[in-house]
Amino acid sequence: MKVNRRKLLSLLGMSPALLAGSRVEAEQKKKGVHSGAGSEPKLTALSPKGAPPAVARFAMAPRLGTLDGKTIYMVDTGFFGGGTLLQEMQEWFQQNVPGVKTVFRKKAGGYAEDDPKLWAEIKANANAAIMAIGH
């Protein structure tokens, strides 16, 4: 009676790939190839990490000497609670630094989506911007 090893292994819940390992070892023994320490075959693997892309550096924006008389945009990106935090900051500026003008804006789209209209407005009118991006 001939036994089908593949079917037998699959019935036992084992991979038929186990057969390939035993064949390779048998061929290596016939050829007199030694796999190193013990009878374990030598395996070679590649790292799945790959190579990260180069990081582009940008210079920091010039710092303001004072906030007095300046306009600060408060930009809500839609992150949970971000708008509430920015509105609290607006109130703080009104009470503690009345010479600072604050403008609250909600960014269109999701966090990672571009909002060219808002960026143009900030570039034209703001001296600084605070974004509530979460985490």
Residue 120, domain member (yes or no): yes
Phi and psi angles of residue 104, each rounded to the nearest 5 degrees, phi first = -95, 130
Could you give the number of structural domains in the chain? 2
For residue 108, is it within any domain? yes
43 domain-assigned: no
Q: Which residue from 69, 72, 59, 60 is spatially nearest to 103, judged by alpha carbons?
A: 72
Check whether residue 75 and residue 128 sit in a common domain: yes
- Asked whether residue 79 falls in the same domain as residue 123, the answer is yes
Tokens (6 digits) for 61: 């924006």
Domain membership of residue 23 as a residue range:
1-35
Per-residue pLDDT at 34 = 55
For the chain, residues with pLDDT lower than 70 are: 1, 5, 8-9, 12-39, 135
State pTM to two decimals.
Answer: 0.57
pLDDT at 13: 67
Note whether residue 48 is domain-resident: no
Residue 83, sorted as left (phi over 0), alpha (psi -120 to 50) or beta, turns out to be alpha
